Copies of this chain bind each other. A is one copy, B any other.
Amino acid sequence: MKKGIIVQKFGGSSVANPEKLKNVAKRVAATRDEGYDVVVVVSAMGDTTDDILELAARITSNPHSREMDMLLSTGEQVSVALLAMALHEIGKEAISFTGWQVGIVSDSSHTRAKILDISTGRVKAELRRGRIVIVAGFQGVTLNQEITTLGRGGSDLTAVALAKVLGAKVCEIFTDVEGVYTADPRVVPDAKKLDNISYDEMLELASLGAQVMQARSMEVASKYNVPLHVRSSFSQAPGTMITKEVKAMEDVLVRGITANKNEAKVTVCDVPDKPGEAGKLFEELAKANINVDMIIQNVSRARATDISFTVPAGDLSKTEKVIEKAASLIGANGVKFDKNIAKLSVVGIGMRSHSGVAAKMFRTLASKRINIEMISTSEIKISCVIDRKDADEAVKSLHKAFELGRKPGK
C-alpha cells in the first residue's frame, strides 16, 4: 500500500563531497524502504557555487544576470546526477532532473526568479515506476526557455513548491542543526530544540535571522499548508515540525529569541516636517531594491524630525549612495550610519492572548543596562535594536527570563 510522497531537501553542506553524497543516498533509500515515494531536492555541492562565482569574477565584475544563471545552475545539475549514481550504486532506482526537465516554470527575474508553475507529469510518472526522483534545487526555466535561479534559499523553495504540487505528506528540510531552537545554541548553551512551531512563528524567526529556512519558502509553505520537518542530516532524531497553528501552541508565551546581527541602522537627520517628504526617501530606496526593515520617526521638534530605519548590512553601501542623494534633495540635515547594531526579537503566538511580554522584555534588558535604540512590534513578536556588543548577553538573559531553557535532566 502506498504511504504517500515525502519531499526531502539536502543543502550544499550535506552533499559537499562524494562521501557525504553517499550518506544522503542511504538516508533517501531508507525512506524509500519505509514505503514512501521519495522526491529529493539538492543544492550545489559545498563550495561549488563559490568556485563558480570566483571564475566569473576573474572575467568580469559585472556579469549579466542571465549568464550568471546559466553558470550557477550547473552546480545543482552536478549534484543531482551524482546523487542518482550514488543511489544506483546501492541498488535503488533513481532518476535526476534539472529544473527545466521537471518543468519548474519561473518568471524572468534572473538570479531571483519566482516560481510560476510546476508540471508534475514527469515526476509522477517516474514515481509510479518506483523510482526515486531527484530534482535540482534553486533553478527554473522561463516560458522562453531561459534558465533562471531562484535566489538565496532557492532550494528550500523548490522543495516546498514541489511538496505542494505533489501533495506530499511532508517536506523534510535536512540541515546541519537538529531543528529549530529556542535560541542559537552557540550563544545559549541550554537552548531547547522545539518539537513544534507554527508557520507564523517560524516566519518571524526565519526573517529575524534564525537562518534555518528562508522567509520566502516559509511563506509558500504557510500559504499552501505544506507541513515542514526541519531535521539533521547527521542524526535520525526527529527535528522540528513546522505546521499551521494549533490551539496548544498558544499556551507557550514565547517560542524563541533571535538576534540578527546582519542589519545596519540609518538615521536621516532633520527631515523637514512636510507631508510626503519621508515617502520620497523610501521611494528612492525601493527603486534601488533595498529592503527596509524597521522604521522609526521621532516626535517632531521645530519643523523637522529624525527618521531612522534598518537595512540588511549587505545593502549598506548601496543604501549610502541612494540615501545621501535623497536626503539632500528633500533638504534634510545629513545622514548617520550605524553598523554596530543587532535586532533582538522575541517571538511567540501566545503573545496574542497574553500581555506582559513587552514589559518583561524591557525590564530584563534594563536590568542588564542594555539600551534600546528602536522598537517595533507585530502581533506575535517584539523587536528591539540594541548595540551589537550586547546581543549575546541580551539573548541569554531573555532566554532565562522567559524560562525557555531545558529542564534539568531533560
Contact = CB atoms under 8 A, between A and B. Distances in A.
Interface residues on A, range: 35 or more
Interface in A66-84: 66-68, 70-71, 73-74, 77-78, 80-82, 84
A96 interface: yes
A34 B302 CA distance: 68
B60 A78 contact: no
Interface in A40-98: 52, 55-56, 58-60, 62-64, 66-68, 70-71, 73-74, 77-78, 80-82, 84-86, 88-89, 95-96, 98
Given A59-B21, A59-B22, A80 B70 contact: yes
Contacts of A84: 64, 67, 70
Contacts of A63: 85, 88
A96 B70 contact: yes
B100 A88 contact: no
A84 B146 CA distance: 15
A122 B64 CA distance: 19
A201 to B, nearest CB: 39
A101 interface: yes
A85 B64 contact: yes
Oligomer: number of copies = 2
Contacts of A18: 55, 58-59
B60 A86 contact: yes
Contact of A88 (B64, B96, B122, B147): B64
Contact of A67 (B56, B96, B101): B96
Given A67-B96, A145-B101, A59 B85 contact: yes
A56 B82 contact: yes
A191 B25 CA distance: 55
Contacts of A89: 59-60, 62
Nearest to A78: B74
A27 to B, nearest CB: 15
A215 to B, nearest CB: 29
A73 to B, nearest CB: 8
Contacts of A78: 52, 55, 71, 74
Contacts of A82: 55-56, 59, 67, 71
Contact of A70 (B55, B67, B81): B81
A286 to B, nearest CB: 28
A145 B98 CA distance: 10
A209 to B, nearest CB: 32
Interface string A195-226: 00000000000000000000000000000000
Interface of A: 18, 21-22, 52, 55-56, 58-60, 62-64, 66-68, 70-71, 73-74, 77-78, 80-82, 84-86, 88-89, 95-96, 98, 100-101, 122, 145-147
Given A18-B55, A60-B86, A70-B84, 20 more contacts: A18-B59, A21-B59, A22-B59, A52-B78, A55-B78, A55-B82, A59-B86, A60-B85, A64-B84, A64-B85, A67-B88, A70-B81, A70-B98, A71-B82, A73-B77, A74-B77, A74-B78, A77-B77, A98-B147, A101-B146
21 contacts: A18-B55, A21-B59, A22-B59, A52-B78, A55-B78, A56-B81, A59-B82, A59-B86, A59-B89, A63-B85, A64-B88, A67-B81, A67-B82, A67-B84, A67-B88, A68-B81, A70-B80, A70-B98, A71-B85, A101-B146, A122-B145
For the complex of A and B, the 7 pairs showing the least CB-CB separation, nearest first, are A18-B58, A71-B81, A70-B81, A74-B74, A60-B89, A67-B84, A67-B81
